[in-house]
Structures are given as C-alpha cells and as structure tokens.
C-alpha cells in the first residue's frame, strides 16, 4: 500500500476541498493518507514570501473598492 503525505492548512480553501477528495482517490488507488497539518502563512512569512503582496493592479482594485464604500 502506498502512502500519500498530505500537508494541509485549516485556513486554506484548497486544503479544505482536497481533504474531501483525497480519501476517495487514495481508496481507488490502494493508498492511504498521512495527514500532516501545516501553517502555510507562517511558513510563507518565514521565507519572506508575502501572500498578500500589494501589486499595482491589486492596489487599484482595493482603492476603487474603498472609494465605492465611502459613497
């Protein structure tokens, strides 16, 4: 039997959906899931990667939303 290491984060929508699909996929392929919790935001911060980096496009969108909320 094969083992699938699944690193998941409770705050990740991708992890949430994968957690529902992975057990069935593993069952069909004679594998089992090794559930490994992780805190990806802390991991990203520790490596200097900013998941919420302010790009010019995001800055413009946020500004437009803020202006619309004020009116």
What is the number of other CB atoms lying within 10 angstroms of the CB of residue 19? 15
CA–CA distance from 57 to each of 37, 44, 53 (Å)?
33, 22, 11
Q: Would you say residue 6 has pLDDT above 90? A: yes
Q: Indicate the pTM of the whole model.
A: 0.60
pLDDT bucket at 15, cuts 50 / 70 / 90: confident
Q: Would you say residue 29 has pLDDT above 90? A: yes
Q: Write the pLDDT tens digit of every residue in 52-68.
A: 666 677 667 776 766 77
Domain ranges of the chain: 2-70
């Amino acid at each position: 039997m094969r083992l699938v290491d699944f690193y998941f984060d409770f705050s990740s929508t991708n992890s949430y959906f994968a957690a529902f699909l992975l057990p069935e996929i593993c069952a069909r392929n004679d594998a089992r899931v090794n559930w490994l919790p992780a805190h990806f935001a802390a991991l990203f911060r520790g490596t200097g990667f900013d998941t919420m980096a302010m790009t010019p496009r995001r800055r413009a969108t946020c500004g437009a939303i803020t202006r619309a909320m004020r009116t």
